[in-house]
Amino acid sequence: MLMHRQSLNAYAAPLCETVVDCPQPTGTQVLLRIARCGVCHSDLHMQDGYFLLGDGKQLDVRAGRTLPFTLGHEIAGIIECAGPDAKDATPGRAVAIYPWIGCGQCAACKAGDENICSAPRHLGITVDGGFASHVLIPHPRYLIDYAPLPASYAGALMCSGLTAYAALQRLSDRAARARLLLIGLGGVGLMGLALARAIYGTAPYVADIDAKKRAAALAAGAAAAFDPADPGARKELLKVSSGIYAACDFVGSDKSLNFATSVLAKGGKVVVTGLLGGAYTTPVAMFPLKAMTIEGTTTGTLAQARALIDLVRAKNIAAPPIAERPLDQAQATLDDLRAGRIVGRVVLTA
């Protein structure tokens, strides 16, 4: 059996098709026939080989994978076959894949935080992922049943949905005090808005420099929308909220984090998930004086991924706009994403 892949053969170069023999699963491994794989902003950074750190600095991320490499981490599909020790991996079962797989040995993995493992085997990041017809999964524990959700939605939930969910989980104590503030209403932000309403039962405030995104967020039930580029926005938000206790920065730039911290109440907390880039400085005394917390999080744990799928099914949380394209459109999709031509999610069909 052959495996078709849209491979990264060199950094900063277009993906191209490679065809190899399908790997045979051994031990606890499971071979998945991919039905859908979402295209994510972080795929652009992986293709470039770096993240922007601000002040012209870059974080080189080219180490730790061999080329050709298969990107893609928002995967759902059908079990093709499995090794002799893979329990419950019945061929034909439809599953989403938790892609943030750890080494299983380090302190983070032992605590269940495989997403921040020190020797990760993250699919599409350090191990071949989902821009392909098949993918090899090391253990059936990473398979998550998703029916009756669509496969494309289940895949997207493993990254953008999980990121928003994990950020909201870190704000649960403060979210009980007052409305949340969500900054950046792209794919993760809109998912965060829907999840925040379902989890906390109140509509959050939102902030985005893009009027179209503010309008989309208001249509999706935001309490009020603010433009952080408007010099009056901070005052206005403080007036209606009397200070924010819980904020998510889904943008991750100097501007977005400055806006978030500028509207915090005493004891307020910002969780940063965005990776846009930039550098943030603040007087150190602001931490004690405002009893301020700034915390970062990246994707989420396996337990959170399972809880998220359960929540979305139980509360019937609607999917963001999802468009489907054939696998050989992977590079064209990355180009469109880079140029800002994509609204919602594009999912590749293998």
Distant-in-sequence contacts of 111-120, Cβ < 8 A, 24+ apart? 112/301, 112/302, 112/303, 113/301, 114/301, 114/302, 115/298, 115/299, 115/300, 115/301, 116/298
Distance CA 99, CA 8 (A): 18
Strands across the sheet with 2-8, in order? Answer: 16-21, 2-8, 69-70
Tell me which stretch binds Zn ion (CB under 5 A): 13-21, 110-118, 166-174, 282-290: 110-118
Using CB under 5 A as the binding rule, whether residue 159 contacts Zn ion is answered as yes
Using CB under 5 A as the binding rule, whether residue 109 contacts Zn ion is answered as yes
Among 102, 129, 140, 252, binds Zn ion (CB under 5 A): 102
Distance CA 121, CA 200 (A): 33
Smaller CB separation from Zn ion, 40 or 233: 40
Using CB under 5 A as the binding rule, whether residue 133 contacts Zn ion is answered as no
Among 95, 117, 222, 272, binds Zn ion (CB under 5 A): 117
- Min separation Cβ 109 and Zn ion, Å: 3
| Bond before 140 cis per omega within 30 degrees | no
Q: Identify whether the C-beta of residue 254 lies closer than 8 Å to the C-beta of residue 278.
A: yes
**Beta-carbon-side half-sphere exposure of residue 209 (alpha carbons within 13 Å):** 9
Residue whose entry in the numeric block shows the structure tokens 């892949």: 5
Smaller CB separation from Zn ion, 51 or 200: 51
Using CB under 5 A as the binding rule, whether residue 346 contacts Zn ion is answered as no
Using CB under 5 A as the binding rule, whether residue 302 contacts Zn ion is answered as no
- Min separation Cβ 45 and Zn ion, Å: 10
Q: Identify whether the C-beta of residue 119 lies closer than 8 Å to the C-beta of residue 106.
A: yes
- Min separation Cβ 172 and Zn ion, Å: 23
Q: Identify whether the C-beta of residue 319 lies closer than 8 Å to the C-beta of residue 153.
A: yes
- Min separation Cβ 24 and Zn ion, Å: 26
Distance CA 162, CA 301 (A): 8
Using CB under 5 A as the binding rule, whether residue 103 contacts Zn ion is answered as yes
- Min separation Cβ 180 and Zn ion, Å: 22
Coil vs helix vs strand at 141: helix
- Min separation Cβ 160 and Zn ion, Å: 6
- Report strand pairing: 244-249 vs 264-272: parallel
Using CB under 5 A as the binding rule, whether residue 42 contacts Zn ion is answered as yes
Smaller CB separation from Zn ion, 83 or 186: 186
Using CB under 5 A as the binding rule, whether residue 106 contacts Zn ion is answered as yes
Distance CA 312, CA 305 (A): 11
DSSP class of residue 207 equals E
- Min separation Cβ 158 and Zn ion, Å: 8
For Zn ion, the binding residues in 2-41 under the rule CB under 5 A are: 40
- Min separation Cβ 350 and Zn ion, Å: 18
Task: Please give the sequence-ordered ranges of beta strands (E in DSSP) within the chain, or none if there are none.
Answer: 2-8, 16-21, 30-39, 50-54, 57-60, 69-70, 74-82, 94-97, 134-137, 143-145, 181-183, 205-207, 224-226, 244-249, 264-272, 293-296, 322-326, 345-349
Using CB under 5 A as the binding rule, whether residue 46 contacts Zn ion is answered as no
Using CB under 5 A as the binding rule, whether residue 81 contacts Zn ion is answered as no
Using CB under 5 A as the binding rule, whether residue 256 contacts Zn ion is answered as no
Using CB under 5 A as the binding rule, whether residue 333 contacts Zn ion is answered as no
Q: Total binding residues for Zn ion by CB under 5 A?
A: 8
Smaller CB separation from Zn ion, 112 or 232: 112
Tell me which stretch binds Zn ion (CB under 5 A): 114-122, 191-199, 261-269, 271-279: 114-122
Which residues of this chain interact with Zn ion, rule CB under 5 A?
Answer: 40, 42, 102-103, 106, 109, 117, 159
